[in-house]
Structure formats: structure tokens, C-alpha cells
């Protein structure tokens, strides 16, 4: 049990979007794919998945891990209603129309609630994807269905504390997913064998060191000493277990720390850059804009407006 508590505590969760849809035109997406984890709750009608087109019953949930392509049918689709994921994204509004929760009870068409979210270990490894588990149906779990509904109901509101409540509900969603997997003995072997990043204390030491020294020297030479491996090997070792090289991970963490400082302090852009490890302010600003698509100053103004609302 302690191992699984450690797993859950290490997973960072971020809500990306959620909505209710009625099916305007039935559609089969041959390679349905989302970059984030996806849960699809079927309220009424028909939802199928996989090559065998297994049926999801009303009130049940289809879970598709991040980056896992899967054949999904919304409504009573036929062979001629098939299309690729790219085509579906271009024509999504023709097939799925957004509706509010208050309208769901009056809709006669097929209707689903869809929520996507990130679940990353140490902000780098896509947790459910890394386990190697396929998409699957979550049956007989009213609590999970209720949480999914609560996430989208909150997203429809325009009231103080909305973002925080959504974050809490999304974290609950991930905890309940893991509990469902463990309770029903689903993919437990995959979870225990594929979660290599929890088993090597040297990697944990590096993650902790990076977090505590985000503004300091985090060169491969320093990381090699922390992990007690050679400087030539440390990059390969880190990437082998996480799928990303350490310097890319460090830059991501530095930028996330910078965003938090922009959001919560009145420190200058120059001081924030230095605090997260960038001596050259111009370079920090270039990298920030490259990563987020807008300058740090505009990010601060945008966050201020969001907080006011």
C-alpha cells in the first residue's frame, strides 16, 4: 500500500478541458487520439471502442490514456461514417455539439461528457501512458462518474474559486482512477513493473535536488554527483527512465517556477529570471516566449486578469 501511496503522491495533475456533447451526426474515429488522458462518460445512446467495437453502457466511462490511439464510435455509426482523427478534429462541430448540463435531460440524441487531463510523474512522465495500459471501460463506478460531472459543472460556472475547485475535482478523478484499477486488479502487474521511476532512488534524488535548487547549478556534472553516476552517462540514464533528457526537464521546471512567480509576486522579470536560474535576462525572455507563445510580461497581465475574474 505504501508503494501505491508514493505513486499517487508523485503524480502531478492538471485539468485541460471538459464539455458535454450531443451527437449531431454519428461518427467512428478510426484512430481517436488525445495528447492528454481522456474520460468519456456516456449519459445516453451509443458509445463503442476498440477494433471489436465493445459497447459502453449508459452511466459507464471509457478511459483512453494519453497518446493511445483507439477506435471510438459516437452514436450508431456505420462503416461509411468512419474518418481519421485529423479529419474528425477538422469537422468536430459537425458531429459533436456542446450542450450544458441543464439541457442534457431534455436531449433525445446520444449524449456524453468528456474530460481531458494531464497526469505526470515529477511533471515529466505521462503516468497512465507509461504503464502501457490500453483504453478500457470503467463499469459500476458511480463515484467516478459523479466526479466527472462535477468537473464540467464547475467549468460552466463563472464564480470565485472556480479554478481551484476544478483542480481539486481533477485530482480526485486521478485518485479514483488508480483506486479503480487496484480494486479491480486491472493492470496491476503493469503498474508494478513499468513504474521504474519509483524504484530507483538515484532518480528520486535527482528530482528532489532539481526541485530544491531550481535557481542554481544544475549541469549534468552536478547531477552526476547527485546520482553517483558518471557525467557521460547521467543524461542517458535520466532519459532512459523518463523519456526526456535532464536539461529539457530542468528548463521546463524553471519556466513553470517562473510562471508561478509571475502569478504570485510583483518581482521584476529580471529578478524572476535570475531566481529560476537565468543570468541573462534577454535569453530568459526568449526561451519563455518560445515555450509559452507570449512574453513574460503579457503572461503576468493575463494571469492578473484571470485572478480578477
Please state the pTM of the whole predicted model: 0.74
Task: Give the residue from 104, 40, 101, 107 showing the smallest Cα distance to 73.
Answer: 40
Domain 1-193 bears CATH identifier 2.60.120.280? yes
Q: Residue 228 and residue 244: Cα distance in Å, rounded?
A: 19
- pLDDT tens track, the chain, 309 positions: 666 777 777 788 999 999 999 999 999 999 999 889 999 999 999 999 999 999 999 999 999 999 899 999 999 988 889 999 999 999 999 999 999 988 887 888 899 999 999 998 777 778 888 787 899 999 989 999 999 999 999 999 989 999 999 999 999 999 999 999 888 888 877 766 666 666 677 888 888 899 899 999 999 999 999 999 999 999 999 888 777 889 998 998 899 899 889 888 889 999 999 999 999 999 999 999 888 888 888 877 765 544 433
pLDDT of 197: 64
Same fold, 1-193 and 200-298: no
Q: Residue 288 and residue 270: Cα distance in Å, rounded?
A: 12
Q: How far is CA 255 from CA 11, 207, 248, in A?
A: 19, 16, 11
pLDDT of 308: 38
Q: How far is CA 205 from CA 6, 28, 87, 121, 248, in A?
A: 14, 46, 45, 14, 18
Question: What nine digits make up the cell of 170?
Answer: 481533477
Domain 200-298 bears CATH identifier 3.40.50.620? no
pLDDT of 307: 43
Task: Give the residue from 141, 127, 124 showing the smallest Cα distance to 57.
Answer: 141
DSSP state of 81: G
Domain boundaries, the chain: 1-193, 200-298
pLDDT of 198: 65
Amino acid at each position: 500500500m505504501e508503494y501505491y501511496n508514493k505513486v499517487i503522491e508523485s503524480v502531478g495533475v492538471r485539468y485541460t478541458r471538459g464539455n458535454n456533447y450531443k451527437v449531431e451526426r454519428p461518427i467512428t474515429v478510426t484512430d481517436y487520439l488525445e495528447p492528454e488522458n481522456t474520460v468519456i462518460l456516456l449519459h445516453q445512446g451509443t458509445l463503442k471502442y476498440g477494433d471489436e467495437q465493445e459497447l459502453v453502457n449508459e452511466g459507464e466511462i471509457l478511459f483512453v490514456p494519453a497518446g493511445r490511439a483507439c477506435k471510438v464510435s459516437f452514436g450508431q455509426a456505420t462503416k461509411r461514417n468512419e474518418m481519421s482523427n485529423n479529419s474528425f478534429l477538422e469537422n468536430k462541430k459537425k458531429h459533436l455539439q456542446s450542450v450544458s448540463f441543464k439541457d442534457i435531460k431534455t436531449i433525445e440524441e446520444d449524449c456524453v461528457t468528456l474530460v481531458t487531463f494531464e497526469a505526470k510523474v515529477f511533471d515529466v512522465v505521462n503516468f497512465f501512458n507509461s504503464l502501457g495500459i490500453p483504453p478500457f471501460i470503467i463499469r459500476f463506478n458511480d463515484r467516478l462518474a459523479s466526479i466527472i460531472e462535477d468537473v464540467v459543472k464547475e467549468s460552466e460556472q463563472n464564480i470565485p474559486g472556480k479554478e481551484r475547485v476544478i483542480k481539486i475535482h481533477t485530482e480526485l478523478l486521478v485518485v479514483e482512477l488508480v483506486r479503480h484499477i487496484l480494486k479491480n486488479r486491472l493492470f496491476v502487474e503493469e503498474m508494478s513493473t513499468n513504474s521504474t521511476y519509483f524504484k530507483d532512488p538515484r532518480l528520486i534524488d535527482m528530482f528532489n535536488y532539481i526541485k530544491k535548487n531550481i535557481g542554481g547549478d544544475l549541469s549534468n556534472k552536478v547531477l552526476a554527483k547527485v546520482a553517483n553516476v558518471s557525467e557521460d552517462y547521467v543524461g542517458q540514464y535520466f532519459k532512459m527512465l523518463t523519456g526526456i533528457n535532464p536539461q529539457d526537464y530542468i528548463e521546463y521546471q524553471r519556466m513553470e517556477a517562473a510562471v508561478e512567480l509571475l502569478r504570485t509576486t510583483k518581482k521584476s522579470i529580471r529578478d524572476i529570471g535570475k531566481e529560476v536560474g537565468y543570468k541573462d535576462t534577454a535569453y530568459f525572455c526568449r526561451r519563455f516566449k518560445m515555450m509559452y507563445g507570449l512574453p513574460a510580461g503579457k503572461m503576468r497581465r493575463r494571469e492578473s486578469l484571470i485572478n480578477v475574474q
